[in-house]
Chain A
Amino acid sequence: MNNYIKTLISRMAISNNVVLTAEHNAILDYAYRYYQKNKVGPLYYNFKKQLGISKTQINRLFPHGLYSVYNWVDIPLHSAHFPCKSIPTIEVNDYRQVYLDYNATTFIREEVKKVLLNYYSGNMGFGNPSSSTEPGRQAWELINSAHEQVAQCLQVEPTEIVFTGCGTEANNLAIKGIALNHYQEKGHIITANTEHSSVLRSVQYMETLGYEVTILNVDHDGFVDPDDVARHIRKNTILVSIMAANNEIGTIHPVPEIGKICKTAGVPFMVDAIQAFGRIPLQPKKLGISLMSVSSHKIYGPKGVGALFVDKECNLAPLLHGGRQEGDLRSGTENVGHIIAMATAARLMNAEMINESARLRELRNYFIDQLYRNIPDIIVNGSLQHRLPHNLSIGFPRIDSGSFLLGLNKIGVYVSSGSACSEGSRETSHVLHAIGVDRHKYGTIRFSFGLQTTKDDLDYVLKYIPVLYQELIKSGDKPLPDGQD
């Protein structure tokens, strides 16, 4: 350790009121050496293995656990997420950047950019929609029009749309909102094991408060069986929450069937449509859906805004209390600029859905055909038939997805190995686990396509994937067993 690091540690210790012990020093020393050697920070797992110090102990010793350890010895935080050993390099003579991670987030499209820039440069006023001043009234009208536009896309009433701070908040509001409304008598909630973490963790949280929870298993393609839903509905079931389509493997659930079952049983049906909105037709009123969440940054809108459709028959307890905006369901000054941008994004998405989805489906089918030709023993995770048009999750045999992904990164191809939302962790994907993918045999890469994806882009990717794959096979990089990365 050099002097800079030593000073840093003592300074951090003083400012955090930590008295350095031998344990602290061992952890910091190990982290520092690990980083020097591997150019990545160690994970809790490494400490456990090397020093026999558990995550709980580290969290007790350092104010912010692993974050502090990194900070104190000057390891860049993001380097925690590169737990791979070797990054293969291949020669390319026609380098280009190809973004294939549209399931994680999308760029902001021109039409939406225009709205954002127009608003943020002050051309549309800056008032607080709740203020009775003239600028306030202008802002209020903008919000109103956004409600109308999103409502139009879903064929619902403008007052049935609630704008939130993101898709995660919309999911939380739907689930906790329904559940907390039954706080006295509690009740039973049904969901599935491939739901997004914002749904699963909300449901699990309700379980800690005394609610009963049934988490349905999906089949090998990731489908929830509607009969399974029907079988598990009880007298005290207060909510069924099943996503329209999965974010990792693109599987489209039988929403109409489940909707019918819920409607007959009189149970509110919540649908996380964050990945599906604008990709497949979804009209909540026709499908028996009581609550449906949408996120802006998955449909070429800005981050920091989402929406929840709440059927007017449905009663929710708000998550945030205060100025009673959004029909008292979501207090807080409205994010006017982002909201009107999201409305524009939703409108365009809806208008272009049929053509764009057909285009992407064709591109995806071309991509998978070509890929099969070059690497015949790949597997497709999830169903190819009932799948989002822009998603493809591929298992590559005998390689580590992390190395593969970074190799692709180096030649300008941006993909991901799973969901971007599991912050700071590379735990086993719960979705891949649920559909029984053998992670010892396959390294999974998610390719997701969007507005800017062209056939030329895919040809570039297809040209180099086999080369890179062979490199990895040669270097003997195997997928890491569960829990080791």
Chain B
Amino acid sequence: MKAIYMDHHATTPLDKEVLESMMPYLTEHFGNPSSNTHEYGHIARKAVEEARKKIADLIGAQSADEIIFTSGATEADNLAVKGIAWNNRDKKGQIITIATEHKAILDTVSRLEREGYEIAYARIDEYGLIDLDHLASLLKPETRLISIQTANSEIGTIQPIAEIGQLAMQHKIPFHTDAVQALGKVDINVIRDHIDMLSISAHKMYGPKGIGALYVRKGIKLTSLIDGGGHERGMRSGTLNVPGIVGLGKAAEIAKRDMKQEVDRLLILRNRLADGIDKQIEHCKLNGHPIKRLANNLNYSFAYVEGESLILACRDVALSSGSACTSTSLQSSYVLRAINVPESLAHCSIRFGLGKSNTSEQIDYILELLVRNVKKLREMSPLYDLARDGIDIDKLNWSKHTH
């Protein structure tokens, strides 16, 4: 069987339709959208504005002007959080987030903490779900921003965004959500859900790398991170990545068009994989919420098996043990630690990120591969011997058929 790609949370292949839409802008239409004096510039500008509309459509924004293009979601996250924080450089204030956010948020807030801002982390439960009462209790007059992701990239947990939005609106606090993993899989509407800012990445929804966007609701002012020609309503200077933007626009259009159908398909595949694992492999634990989770995500800890060894053993399947952005470090996943997965199990975790290319044959193939390799690796594990003798080292609740 050909190599199988099952790491769609890290990145996704470029959709053929997206590639086709980008092609003219990678070749003949090379104009600078800011060149307002000739046709080359106009063509580029028109393409950019069309893409802006498509993105606004995907998230239900009122106006296309509310979309600010960035070089990616990391920049979008940085712009949202620092942009709000730096509006109040003198008075500082408080920013609320959660411990399972992407590093683009966590590293940013810790930088702000060093600058004198107060950072509060709302409590999350064992599934990674936010505790809304605790969030409400943290709010105070100096709260500048609430930033909570829509869905987690490792454990797929989907947060109650609409409730958070409601709360933020009642207290007139700007609400930012990193929707990178959720777009195209979760129905998001910035108006209905009272979202003030929302980060978007193209390469997580079959678009190109190097382009993202931040939705900024009208009336929200941000201090820009990148100054210069005053592009993007002054919030993000720099010549626009036209082919990237066109690709993002197309990816957004497709995501909207295919969402329902693709989510249904992914759910069937995902459940097939989960059922298989639960039935055929003992001592494994599902990390994250059994129901409130992304349709394409599974995260399992296989006790007594080192995650990295299992990944190596399943060589022809591209899998990962956690977030791509931190996977070069050997530490266990900070997300799993944040939801109190014991260290011994956090090291045994595998993330399955399903996507468009995956088929049910592939799922069956992976299942067989997992069963075989988990067995093989456990046979080499002294801990497993102990466990079989009835010594339960961590007194764990093994997962049952929960979904």
| Binary B-proximity of A401-429 (CB < 8 A = 1, otherwise 0) | 01001100100001111011111110000
| Contact A16 B13, beta carbon cutoff 8 Å | no
Of the listed stretches B126-134, B218-226, B285-293, chain A binds B218-226
| Set B27, B32, B325: member contacting A105, Cβ < 8 A | B32
Question: Within 8 Å CB of A77, what residues of B?
Answer: 45, 49
| Set B11, B35, B242: member contacting A416, Cβ < 8 A | B35
| Contact B35 A101, beta carbon cutoff 8 Å | yes
User: How far is it, in angstroms, between the C-alpha of A406 and the C-alpha of B27 when the chains are bound?
Assistant: 25
| Set B26, B210, B242: member contacting A165, Cβ < 8 A | B210
**B208 at the A interface (CB under 8 A):** yes
**A209 at the B interface (CB under 8 A):** yes
Shortest distance from the beta carbon of B342 to any chain A beta carbon, whole Å: 23
Given contacts A133-B7, A135-B5, A420-B32, contact A303 B229 (CB under 8 A): no
| Set A302, A422, A423: member contacting B26, Cβ < 8 A | A302
**A253 at the B interface (CB under 8 A):** no
Of the listed stretches A117-125, A214-222, A360-368, chain B binds A117-125
| Binary B-proximity of A28-61 (CB < 8 A = 1, otherwise 0) | 0000000000000000000000000000000000
Of the listed stretches B64-72, B156-164, B372-380, chain A binds B64-72
Shortest distance from the beta carbon of B157 to any chain A beta carbon, whole Å: 20
Q: Which of A148-168 contact B (CB under 8 A)?
A: 164-168
Question: Within 8 Å CB of B324, what residues of A?
Answer: 128, 130-132, 136, 323, 333
User: How far is it, in angstroms, between the C-alpha of A153 and the C-alpha of B75 when the chains are bound?
Assistant: 28
Shortest distance from the beta carbon of A58 to any chain B beta carbon, whole Å: 14
| Contact B89 A81, beta carbon cutoff 8 Å | no
User: How far is it, in angstroms, between the C-alpha of A338 and the C-alpha of B148 when the chains are bound?
Assistant: 31
Of the listed stretches A197-205, A224-232, A378-386, A389-397, chain B binds A197-205
| Contact B242 A331, beta carbon cutoff 8 Å | no
**A485 at the B interface (CB under 8 A):** no
Shortest distance from the beta carbon of A282 to any chain B beta carbon, whole Å: 21
Of the listed stretches A1-9, A64-72, A462-470, chain B binds A64-72
Of the listed stretches B103-111, B182-190, B251-259, chain A binds B103-111
| Contact A106 B30, beta carbon cutoff 8 Å | yes
Shortest distance from the beta carbon of A357 to any chain B beta carbon, whole Å: 21
Q: Which of A333-371 contact B (CB under 8 A)?
A: 333-339
Given contacts A117-B26, A172-B227, A335-B209, contact A15 B75 (CB under 8 A): no
| Contact A423 B230, beta carbon cutoff 8 Å | yes
| Contact B71 A131, beta carbon cutoff 8 Å | no
**A99 at the B interface (CB under 8 A):** yes
| Binary B-proximity of A154-193 (CB < 8 A = 1, otherwise 0) | 0000000000111111011000000000010000000000
**A329 at the B interface (CB under 8 A):** no
Question: Within 8 Å CB of B45, what residues of A?
Answer: 77-78
Question: Within 8 Å CB of B210, what residues of A?
Answer: 165, 304-305, 333-339
| Set B31, B104, B228, B318: member contacting A133, Cβ < 8 A | B318
Best-buried of A108, A169, A304, A419 by chain B (most CB within 10 Å): A304
**B337 at the A interface (CB under 8 A):** no
User: How far is it, in angstroms, between the C-alpha of A1 and the C-alpha of B237 when the chains are bound?
Assistant: 36
| Contact A126 B13, beta carbon cutoff 8 Å | yes
| Contact A16 B328, beta carbon cutoff 8 Å | no
| Contact A198 B74, beta carbon cutoff 8 Å | no
Question: Within 8 Å CB of B99, what residues of A?
Answer: none
| Contact A120 B26, beta carbon cutoff 8 Å | yes
| Contact A171 B74, beta carbon cutoff 8 Å | no
Of the listed stretches A256-264, A314-322, A434-442, A471-479, chain B binds A314-322
| Contact A120 B65, beta carbon cutoff 8 Å | no
| Contact A16 B218, beta carbon cutoff 8 Å | yes
Question: Within 8 Å CB of A409, what residues of B?
Answer: 37-39
User: How far is it, in angstroms, between the C-alpha of A53 and the C-alpha of B26 when the chains are bound?
Assistant: 43
| Contact B27 A201, beta carbon cutoff 8 Å | no
| Set A134, A165, A406: member contacting B37, Cβ < 8 A | A406
| Contact B328 A121, beta carbon cutoff 8 Å | no
**A116 at the B interface (CB under 8 A):** yes
User: How far is it, in angstroms, between the C-alpha of A422 and the C-alpha of B229 when the chains are bound?
Assistant: 5
Question: Within 8 Å CB of B65, what residues of A?
Answer: 64, 67-68, 71
| Contact A421 B36, beta carbon cutoff 8 Å | no
| Contact B244 A338, beta carbon cutoff 8 Å | yes
**B41 at the A interface (CB under 8 A):** yes
Given contacts A120-B26, A205-B227, A304-B243, contact A320 B32 (CB under 8 A): no
Question: Within 8 Å CB of B26, what residues of A?
Answer: 108, 113, 116-117, 120, 302
| Contact A126 B14, beta carbon cutoff 8 Å | yes
Shortest distance from the beta carbon of A17 to any chain B beta carbon, whole Å: 9
Q: Name the residue of chain A whose CB is nearest to the CB of B22.
A: A120
Best-buried of A127, A319, A320, A416 by chain B (most CB within 10 Å): A320
User: How far is it, in angstroms, between the C-alpha of A90 and the C-alpha of B47 when the chains are bound?
Assistant: 30
Given contacts A131-B11, A332-B74, contact A64 B37 (CB under 8 A): no
Shortest distance from the beta carbon of B7 to any chain A beta carbon, whole Å: 5
**A279 at the B interface (CB under 8 A):** no
**A237 at the B interface (CB under 8 A):** no
Q: Chain A, interface size: which category?
A: 35 or more
Question: Within 8 Å CB of B72, what residues of A?
Answer: 165, 332-333, 335
| Contact B211 A133, beta carbon cutoff 8 Å | no
User: How far is it, in angstroms, between the C-alpha of A113 and the C-alpha of B292 when the chains are bound?
Assistant: 44
**B241 at the A interface (CB under 8 A):** yes
Given contacts A169-B226, A323-B326, contact A303 B10 (CB under 8 A): no
| Set B35, B208, B230: member contacting A337, Cβ < 8 A | B208
Question: Within 8 Å CB of B309, what residues of A?
Answer: none
| Contact B228 A81, beta carbon cutoff 8 Å | no
Shortest distance from the beta carbon of B41 to any chain A beta carbon, whole Å: 7
| Contact B37 A81, beta carbon cutoff 8 Å | yes
Q: Name the residue of chain A whose CB is nearest to the CB of B109.
A: A321
| Binary A-proximity of B69-100 (CB < 8 A = 1, otherwise 0) | 01111110110000000000100000000000
User: How far is it, in angstroms, between the C-alpha of A359 and the C-alpha of B201 when the chains are bound?
Assistant: 43
Given contacts A320-B74, A321-B78, contact A105 B89 (CB under 8 A): no
Q: Name the residue of chain A whose CB is nearest to the CB of B11.
A: A128
User: How far is it, in angstroms, between the C-alpha of A295 and the C-alpha of B239 when the chains are bound?
Assistant: 10
Q: Name the residue of chain A whose CB is nearest to the CB of B72.
A: A332
**A104 at the B interface (CB under 8 A):** yes
Question: Within 8 Å CB of A147, what residues of B?
Answer: none
**B344 at the A interface (CB under 8 A):** no
Question: Within 8 Å CB of B315, what residues of A?
Answer: 134
User: How far is it, in angstroms, between the C-alpha of A128 and the C-alpha of B14 when the chains are bound?
Assistant: 12
**B276 at the A interface (CB under 8 A):** no
**A196 at the B interface (CB under 8 A):** yes
Given contacts A71-B65, A297-B32, contact A131 B226 (CB under 8 A): no
Question: Within 8 Å CB of A322, what residues of B?
Answer: 74, 77-78, 102-104, 107-108, 325
Given contacts A320-B74, A320-B225, A321-B104, contact A303 B240 (CB under 8 A): yes
**A460 at the B interface (CB under 8 A):** no
Question: Within 8 Å CB of A336, what residues of B?
Answer: 209-210
**A376 at the B interface (CB under 8 A):** no
Q: Which of A285-332 contact B (CB under 8 A)?
A: 295, 297, 302-305, 319-325, 331-332
Question: Within 8 Å CB of A196, what residues of B?
Answer: 228
| Contact A335 B228, beta carbon cutoff 8 Å | no
User: How far is it, in angstroms, between the C-alpha of A17 and the C-alpha of B12 when the chains are bound?
Assistant: 38
| Contact A333 B209, beta carbon cutoff 8 Å | yes
User: How far is it, in angstroms, between the C-alpha of A320 and the C-alpha of B315 when the chains are bound?
Assistant: 34
Best-buried of B31, B89, B209, B323 by chain A (most CB within 10 Å): B209
User: How far is it, in angstroms, between the C-alpha of A319 and the C-alpha of B228 when the chains are bound?
Assistant: 15
10 contacts between A and B (CB under 8 A): A15-B62, A104-B32, A127-B10, A128-B209, A135-B5, A165-B72, A166-B239, A167-B239, A172-B225, A322-B77
Given contacts A297-B32, A303-B32, A333-B203, 5 further A-B contacts (CB under 8 A): A81-B37, A136-B324, A321-B111, A335-B210, A423-B34
For the complex of A and B, list the 8 residue pairs with the smallest distance between their C-beta atoms, beginning with the closest.
A335-B210, A304-B241, A165-B71, A323-B325, A198-B228, A322-B104, A332-B74, A168-B238
